[in-house]
């Protein structure tokens, strides 16, 4: 399977299976904390000996893969044991002739393919016409929806009292664009900013604080948990609360998009935020998809390339509360149309 955080909430069956029926195995060192808390076994190294030992010990009746994590040795040994192999939320890009051969070979191990979209399913059918392929949707939408419907408690005293933009998972390259772009709107009291650095280290927080002071912007730290009233900026100095903060926001900016690659935009979109990203977003499937959609006459996701462009777009959006509310509702509905893949996966899993 993929990283544990990817599939762990994606199997939400209509009835509870026997817990002995489902084994999640971690792949990466980044999953150590989660795996310790759940006593998850480490997935075998993709070598003959470890794979054989893993399969002999656990005797799986089926192997489910998340998205695009294919491990050749494990697949080959699983196939030898006549264990059915399935993949869910699978995505397939257009590929060159050489890569098509590799993809065909990889997919030859798989019995059942649940694709993230009809377009993905069509591409798989071109590559493997005999495959059992279904467009079941992307289970990550269900993950995000579940998280947004079940938020962690956060201090209500920090909830903004006017239109608010949440800047999530930002890096210094993002903040150099974001803060000058919004400074006038913040000082004028037309907007509040919740700034959520991707790495809230003491050094990074000091750099942000210095820039806020240079721009004559007052701030309060999230950890102080006192009322957020006169300050322009709420600076979040902890991790793990970004989804909850998007629920407070009218607008979102997703970080990484002025650096190398944008972080996930799904929580911002699922919360109904008018969402902005910078030019570095080609890595993100949802950013590419939603920027092409028209929702209430506006793009589903807005791309900005400079502080001036962000300032102008924000000024325009702030002028019409009614249109913002209509857009937010329509965006949530568009997001909601992508839900349901987890139930399909669960039904397929139980059927096996």
Cα–Cα dist 329/317, whole Å:
15
Q: pTM here?
A: 0.86
Positions of CATH 3.40.50.2000 in the chain: 149-336
CA dihedral 296, 297, 299, 303 (to 10 degrees): -130
The C-alpha atoms of residue 56 and residue 318 are separated, in whole angstroms, by 61
Q: Decide if 148 contacts 243 (C-beta within 8 A).
A: yes
- For residues 271-291, one letter each, b for 16 or more C-beta atoms within 10 angstroms of the residue's C-beta and e for the rest, the string is bbbbbbbbebbeebbbbeebb
Tell the CATH superfamily of the 149-336 domain.
Answer: Glycogen Phosphorylase B; (3.40.50.2000)
CATH 3.40.50.11720 location in the chain = 19-137
pLDDT digit string (tens) for the chain, length 352 residues: 333 444 444 454 444 545 445 666 655 544 444 444 445 556 667 889 989 998 999 999 999 998 888 889 999 999 999 999 999 999 999 999 889 999 999 999 999 999 999 999 999 999 999 999 999 999 999 999 999 999 999 999 999 999 999 999 999 999 999 999 999 999 999 999 999 999 999 999 999 999 999 999 999 999 987 889 889 999 999 999 999 999 999 999 999 999 999 999 999 999 999 999 999 999 999 999 999 999 999 999 999 999 999 999 999 999 988 899 999 999 999 999 999 999 988 887 766 5
Q: How far is CA 66 from CA 6, 26, 85, 194, in A?
A: 8, 12, 11, 33
Out of 3.30.1550.10, 3.40.50.11720, 3.40.250.10, 3.30.1360.10, the CATH code matching 19-137 is 3.40.50.11720
Question: 149: closest CA among 256, 317, 271, 231?
Answer: 271
């Amino acid at each position: 399977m993929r990283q544990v955080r990817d599939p762990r909430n994606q199997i939400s069956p209509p009835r509870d299976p026997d817990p002995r029926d489902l084994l999640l195995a971690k792949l990466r060192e980044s999953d150590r904390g989660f795996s310790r808390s759940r006593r998850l076994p480490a997935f075998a190294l993709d070598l003959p000996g470890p794979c054989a030992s893993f399969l002999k010990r656990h005797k799986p009746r089926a192997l489910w893969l998340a998205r695009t994590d294919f491990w050749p040795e494990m697949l080959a040994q699983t196939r030898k044991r006549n264990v059915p192999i399935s993949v869910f939320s699978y995505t397939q890009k257009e590929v060159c002739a050489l890569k098509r051969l590799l993809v065909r070979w990889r997919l030859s191990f798989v019995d059942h393919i649940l694709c993230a979209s009809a377009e993905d399913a069509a591409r798989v059918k071109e590559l493997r016409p005999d495959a059992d392929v279904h467009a079941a949707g992307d289970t990550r939408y269900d993950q995000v929806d579940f998280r947004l419907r079940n938020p962690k408690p956060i201090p209500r005293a920090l909830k903004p009292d006017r239109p608010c933009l949440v800047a999530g998972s930002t890096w210094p390259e993002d903040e150099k664009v974001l803060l000058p772009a919004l400074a006038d709107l913040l000082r004028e009291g037309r907007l509040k900013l919740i700034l959520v650095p991707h790495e809230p280290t003491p050094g990074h927080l000091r750099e942000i604080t210095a820039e806020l002071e240079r721009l004559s912007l007052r701030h309060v730290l999230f950890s102080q948990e006192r009322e957020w009233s006169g300050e322009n900026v709420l600076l979040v100095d902890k991790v793990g609360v970004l989804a909850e903060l998007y629920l407070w926001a009218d607008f979102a900016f997703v970080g990484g998009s002025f650096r190398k690659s944008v972080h996930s935009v799904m929580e911002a979109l699922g919360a109904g935020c008018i969402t902005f990203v910078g030019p570095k977003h080609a890595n993100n499937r949802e950013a590419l998809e939603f920027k092409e959609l028209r929702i209430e006459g506006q793009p589903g996701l807005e791309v900005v390339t400079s502080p001036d462009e962000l300032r102008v777009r924000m000024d325009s959006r702030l002028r019409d509360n009614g249109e913002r509310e209509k857009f937010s509702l329509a965006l949530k509905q568009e997001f909601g149309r992508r839900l349901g893949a987890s139930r399909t996966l669960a039904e397929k899993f139980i059927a096996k």
